[in-house]
Structure 1
Amino acid sequence: MTATAAAYDGIADWYEHDFLRREPVPGHPRSHGPLLRALLGEGEGVCLEIGCGTGVHAATLRGLGRTPLGVDVSAGMLRHARGRLPVLHADAARLPLADGSVDAAVAVMVHTDMPDYAAVLREAARVLRPGGSFVHIGLHPCFFGAFADRTDPEAVVLRPGYLARHRTERTTGGDGVRARAGAFHRPLPELINTLVDAGLAVSRLAEDGGPTPAVLALAAEKAPGAAGPPAPRP
């Protein structure tokens, strides 16, 4: 069992029965519907949700005409998700899916949980059909992390540490997921470069939450005719 799986297995019931019922402020899972709809748009076919958790976004994907399929490493989270969408219990860095087998893929608030997000993006690109859409919605790397004290959302304090790639056991302030599951931090250039290296072309960017954004989102696509991502850099 990975550390991420263990962390989320331990908080799965709290996440489903407490956290999801909270007021959906920016960064809360139920606040991402508008971003997801705007960046993904309507379409058909299978949409893979990477790190689907308890499946809270399945209804939004269906509302866009998509057929959701979830994958997550946490059996505890999937126990709640199975009533919302079909799921795969697997590591997103090693997807049990064929090349070019899905029409779209989304990763919503999960990149900070993944020790090797670059590998996850390469897998997403592999299983996407050419021209397929990918949407990333995640904590804003410039304004959210152990270096960002968000105790007062109206006056976020940024301290040294943004440039250092690191994992924290908890973030400063709040009583949410990051306080329980920790987070991996990667500076913005690293995040964008992992998409480029995976063969995904970024087409749109968006931010959410204010006055200091809590969320960075983007839309990308796999180039038509692309066979898959290039080999990772040495």
Structure 2
Amino acid sequence: MRSAPYDEIADWYETEFLARARGADVGGVRRALRALLGEGRGTCLDIGCGTGAHAAELRDLGWTPVGVDVSARMLEYAAGRLPVARADATRLPFRDASFPAVVTVMAHTDMPGYPAVLREAARVLRPGAAFVHVGVHPCFCGGFADRSDPGAVVIRPGYLTGHWTTDSWTDQGVRARVGAAHLPLPALLHAFLDAGLVPERFEEGGEPVPFVLAIRARRA
């Protein structure tokens, strides 16, 4: 398995990037995860778990988290927070219908093949079980979005096409270091439907312009 871009920034991500928001629910990520996943029992698979930043939240909801990520260095941090496996999210090392819940939190823009990831999420979900996606908002975040004014977002050409970019209005974020994939909203929603995941609830987070979009879907 090839080295992942996050291997090079794992220490910065854990000790600086995440530390800036320690204790704060930036963009309402935790609120969205709690609202859409809800309390439950059994194993919840966290796809793209990174350093395991959301393991405690999943446990608080009653779930037993298990994480997968392609970055070995990120998983060194995550291993102290939840059981982990190094794996490509487009080829998960789990049997069909293994999990009563699957989530991915602020990770889909790190996965250029996200439609394939959604198909894998649907495959390993039990029939009728929930998949929760919490990610950056496709309409207001990306290389096309200038968020340097806290009160407004300037949308420039580029939203309508899927792409990978390191363009960013700030050098303090992840995208400027490792890049990010973009799917316009219709393409993202169609990828859910094509994977056999039926969206049923939505949340937005961030003020005054949302930068988080969360979706709860059921395996058809």
Corresponding residue of 1:181: 178
The code of the aligned residue for 2:10 comes to A
The structure 2 residue matched to 1:16, chosen from 14, 17, 28, is: 14
Corresponding residue of 1:33: 30
Structure 1 stretches of at least 4 aligned residues deviating more than 6 Å after TM superposition: none
CA contact (8 A) 1:47 1:67 kept: yes
CA distance in 1, matches of 2:175, 2:165: 9
CA contact (8 A) 2:29 2:212 kept: no
The code of the aligned residue for 1:12 comes to A
Give the SS at the match of 1:32.
helix
CA distance in 1, matches of 2:190, 2:150: 29
Corresponding residue of 1:226: none
Following superposition, the deviation at residue 170 of structure 1 comes to 3.4
Give the SS at the match of 1:134.
strand
Following superposition, the deviation at residue 163 of structure 1 comes to 0.4
Corresponding residue of 1:84: 81
The structure 2 residue matched to 1:146, chosen from 130, 143, 146, is: 143
The code of the aligned residue for 2:9 comes to I
Following superposition, the deviation at residue 12 of structure 1 comes to 0.3
CA contact (8 A) 1:145 1:172 kept: no
CA contact (8 A) 2:32 2:214 kept: yes
Deviations 1:144-178 (A, max 9, x none): 01110111221211111110111102322251111
CA contact (8 A) 2:29 2:205 kept: no
CA contact (8 A) 1:92 1:120 kept: yes
The code of the aligned residue for 2:152 comes to A
The code of the aligned residue for 1:16 comes to E
Aligned length: 218
Please give the TM-score of this superposition, normalised by the length of structure 1: 0.90
Following superposition, the deviation at residue 208 of structure 1 comes to 0.4
Spell out the pairing of 1:57-76 with structure 2 (5 A cutoff).
Answer: 57-76=54-73
The code of the aligned residue for 2:165 comes to T
Following superposition, the deviation at residue 21 of structure 1 comes to 1.0
Q: Does structure 1 residue 7 correspond to structure 2 residue 5?
A: yes
CA contact (8 A) 1:26 1:214 kept: no
Deviations 1:58-99 (A, max 9, x none): 011011110100000000100000000000100010000000
CA distance in 1, matches of 2:126, 2:86: 22
Q: Relative contact order (alpha carbons < 8 A, sep ≥ 6): 1 or 2 greater?
A: 2
| Unpaired segments ≥5 residues, structure 1 | 224-234
| Unpaired segments ≥5 residues, structure 2 | none
Q: Does structure 1 residue 43 correspond to structure 2 residue 40?
A: yes
CA contact (8 A) 2:4 2:70 kept: no
CA contact (8 A) 1:26 1:215 kept: no
CA distance in 2, matches of 1:92, 1:124: 9
Percent pairwise identity: 62
Give the SS at the match of 2:4.
helix
The code of the aligned residue for 1:26 comes to V
The code of the aligned residue for 2:173 comes to G
Please give the TM-score of this superposition, normalised by the length of structure 2: 0.95
CA distance in 1, matches of 2:66, 2:4: 22
Following superposition, the deviation at residue 222 of structure 1 comes to 0.9
CA distance in 1, matches of 2:37, 2:100: 11
The structure 2 residue matched to 1:107, chosen from 90, 104, 107, is: 104
